[in-house]
Structures are given as structure tokens and as C-alpha cells.
Amino acid sequence: MEQALMKVNRNRLQETIETSAQIGAIPGNGLCRLALSDEDKEIRDLFRSWLKDSGLQVRVDDFGNIYGRREGKKKDAPPILVGSHLDTQPMGGRFDGILGVLGALEVVRTLNDLEIETELPIEIVSFTNEEGARFEPPMLGSGGITGIFDKEFIYSQKDKSGKSFVDELKRIGYLGDESNRIRKVHSYLEFHVEQGPVLEQANSAIGVVEAIQGMTWLEVKLTGEGDHAGPTPMNMRKDALVAAAKMIVAIQHAAREIDEMTTTTVGRMALAPNVVNCIPGEVSFSVDVRHPEDIKRRLAVELVREKISTIAAAEGVEIEIRDLWEIETTPFAPQILKHITEGAKAYGYSSRRIVSGAGHDAKYLSDIAPTAMIFVPSVNGKSHSPEELTSWEDIEQGANVLLYVVEALANER
Ligand code: HGY
Ligand code: MN
Ligand code: MN
């Protein structure tokens, strides 16, 4: 007889997400919960209490990653790890990251309701600083436990006001112990909003995420000549901001010159002295370059370097281009993709394969265990903005598929 399909408790999941969205709320239904901020502490404390209420053993590691463990019959077997991140962008949405952490909690709550004991243990995780909005680069929590970044590098990263990662981790009371890091993982699953328009346009309920595209972050520093805005004739200027402006347009053109899959973004900029009546002598800005194929991404990065160096020479400003961070395009585990496709089919949900345009902790987890992601549609493809939205029906469907896959993996099917 067909096993009855398990279902999550949609109202409970919705209420849990809506409660979480009250912490760090900003106008327009958005969130600002920067990593290791007071708002991050508040949501961490609440999340930890929810884990405990679900009978999970809670622990925190030395990067502030929070784990909730549900025992399995095989106590010493590597667990199924399910999670994402609770930190947000400064003008973020209510679902990016949060859906994966609270969706995992709902899966455990449902398994508890159904009194299902699994063969393997299950662990819920919330990774620190996935966004890289406050402390660059991104994914320091997952990158720390998978050996991508060493502890000293992570601890020494500073935010714009000069506060260090480790000091802020201590300040909010989440500097845990290295012995609490998860070491062996059977499989990792991350449930996430798509953050793009593909599923909505394809009218697909479930995204079977087969890879994360590669991305490169650069830091560009321009040095011109600070001077007086009045008496300095236009033909005697070395205006770093004018040079930057021309570069930003050229960076956008570089994407088009490669192909329509290439994205280039200048998202962060600082200038000095940044006052009305001084010609900017110094400008620094970030460049984010992405493409599903590594070769084309590297081509785009080279083209960006070439274009902005040519403009710097023409404008008479010095230029320094620094590599900030990079990940290769990362394929996910076919055997888990199969479970996700099967799960969607079992519930009668439409699904399609998709490559993630956004980065996720799953990228680093795939270095240590079979990994995959489940997407649900983003309304108008919006994300990293207060307009981020996914329907509760889509969230329920995605959570049901997550439940299906976690239970199958945890019972070694
Ligand atoms: O940058 C990214 O793609 C992710 O949202 N942190
Ligand atoms: Mn995310
Ligand atoms: Mn994000």
C-alpha cells in the first residue's frame, strides 16, 4: 500500500516565519538583521528556544553556527543536515535564509508529531554570516567548518565601523566551542526561495537545484587628486569619481559583451572626502561577476579588468584591483536531486531543474557531503529587498518536499 504522504503543518510554519519576521523588521515588510547584530542575537535566542521546545539537543560552535540535533536509531551515524542562515541583507526580505532554517524546524516538528523515529540522526543548522553584507566575504560560518577560511581570517574580518567578527560574536554571546562544529555529514539539504524569476515564469512550484553558479568579487581602489571644486579648471582635474562613473557603465557593458547569462554588479561604493565642494580624490567600489560556466565568468572578469584599467589610464587616476572572493560553479548530488524530483511528483507538484543565480551555504557543504537545494518561486523574482515574497501555498509545498526528502534520506532509502 502506498505510504500516506506526510504533510507539514502549514499554519504553524507560517506563524513561525511571521513571528521571526518581527525581529529586525523594516518598513515595507523587509528585514535588517545583519550578522552578529543585536537583531541577529534576538532571532538566534528565539530560534534556540524553538529548537529546545522541539526536544533537540542544541549546541553552538566557534563560528556561532547553531545546531539542533534529533537523535536517530544509529546514534553514531553521520546526520542528515538541514538548514540555511538567519542573517539578512540591510534591506532584506523575510524569506532569504530564514525559510531554510524554519522549514527544517517544521520538518522536525512534523516528524515529532508523527512519532517517526529515523535510522539516522537529523541536525538543523543556522550558519553565521551567509550574506557577507556586514562581514565580507560571505558564508564565513559554513566556510569556516568546511576549511575554506581559517579561524584567524574569519575572526579578524571587520565591518564598516571597524568592529571585528570575533568581538561581535563574543558580544552577542554566541562564541561557542570548536568541538561543537559538525564534522561528518551524511547529506546536506537547503530549502530556499529562488530569488529570481525562473520558476514563476515557468509556472513551476518546485525548483530542483542542480548547481550554484560561480561568482567572483573584486575590490577596485582609485586614486586621483583631491582638489577644490571651484577654482580647479576642468582640464586640470584627476577626478576619481568621474573615472568610477565611466567604469561602472563599462562594467555593465562587459556583461552584455559576454552573453545574456553574465551578470556584473557594482553594489558597494565609498568616496573621499565625500563633501560638496571637494573633487573626490579617492573612490573604492566592489564588483560582483557571475556566470553558470566558469570559463565565461573568468572571461567576464578579465574583460572588466581590461576596461577599467584603460579608463583609469585615460582619466589619469591610479587603479588597484584586488580579488576579494570567488566560488566555482558547483554541481549538486544527483541522488538527492532524484529524491527531490520524486517528492515533487509524489505530491503532484510541478517541478523543474534550475541553476541557482545566488550563492548559498550549500556551496561549501557540497565540499564535504552530498548536497542539494529545493527552491520555491519568488514573486516577480524579487529578493535582497523588502518586496521579497513567496506565497504560503508555495512555501507549504516546498516544505512538504523537504519533509519527504529528509525522511527518505534519514531512513536510508
Ligand atoms: O550573494 C548571494 O548570492 C547570496 O544571496 N548571499
Ligand atoms: Mn540566502
Ligand atoms: Mn541572500
Q: How far is the CA of 111 from the centre of ligand 1 (A)?
A: 31
pLDDT at 212 over 60: yes
pLDDT at 268 over 80: yes
Amino acid residing at 71: E
In sequence order, what E strands does 199-299 have? 206-212, 214-223, 227-228, 263-265, 269-272, 278-279, 282-291
- The DSSP call for residue 205 is S
In this structure, which topology does domain 214-327 adopt according to CATH? Alpha-Beta Plaits (3.30.70)
Note the pLDDT of residue 3. 58
The DSSP bridge pattern shows strands 57-60 and 66-70 to be antiparallel
Residue of the CA atom closest to atom 6 of ligand 1: 131
Same fold, 3-213+329-410 and 214-327: no
Domain boundaries, the chain: 3-213+329-410, 214-327
Q: What ligand 1 atom has the least distance to the C-alpha of 138?
A: 6
Write out pLDDT tens, residues 304-314. 999 999 999 99
Per cent of the chain over pLDDT 90 is 99
Residue 372 in grid coordinates: 542539494
What value does the mean pLDDT of the chain take?
Answer: 97
Residue 408: what are its φ and ψ, rounded to 5°? -65, -45
Do residues 404 and 346 make contact, with C-beta atoms less than 8 angstroms apart?
Answer: yes
Q: Give the closest residue to 369 by CA, choosing from 329, 332, 403.
A: 332
Write out pLDDT tens, residues 48-107. 999 999 999 999 999 999 999 999 999 999 999 999 999 999 999 999 999 999 999 999
Q: How far is the CA of 85 from the centre of ligand 2 (A)?
A: 7
Write out pLDDT tens, residues 114-172. 999 999 999 999 999 999 999 999 999 999 999 999 999 999 999 999 999 999 999 99
Q: 1: pLDDT confidence band, cut at 50, 70 and 90?
A: very low
Q: How far is the CA of 306 from the centre of ligand 2 (A)?
A: 31
Angle at 342 between CA 338 and CA 346, to 5 degrees: 170
Q: Which residues line ligand 1 (CB under 6 A)?
A: 130-131, 138, 358-359
Distance of CA 309 to the CA centre of its chain: 31
- The DSSP call for residue 235 is G
In sequence order, what E strands does 147-237 have? 187-193, 206-212, 214-223, 227-228
Ligand 1 pocket mutation pick from 264, 384, 385, 388 by most atoms within 8 angstroms of CB: 384
Write out pLDDT tens, residues 338-364. 999 999 999 999 999 999 999 999 999
> Which CATH superfamily does the domain covering 3-213+329-410 fall into?
Zn peptidases (3.40.630.10)
Do residues 347 and 238 make contact, with C-beta atoms less than 8 angstroms apart?
Answer: no
Rounded distance between C-alpha atoms, residue 262 and residue 252, angstroms = 10
pLDDT at 2 over 90: no
Please report where in the chains the cell 584567524 appears, as a residue.
152
Residue 412: what are its φ and ψ, rounded to 5°? 55, 40
What is the reported pTM? 0.96
Q: 4: pLDDT confidence band, cut at 50, 70 and 90?
A: confident
Which residues make beta-bridge pairs with 376? 193
The DSSP bridge pattern shows strands 187-193 and 371-376 to be parallel
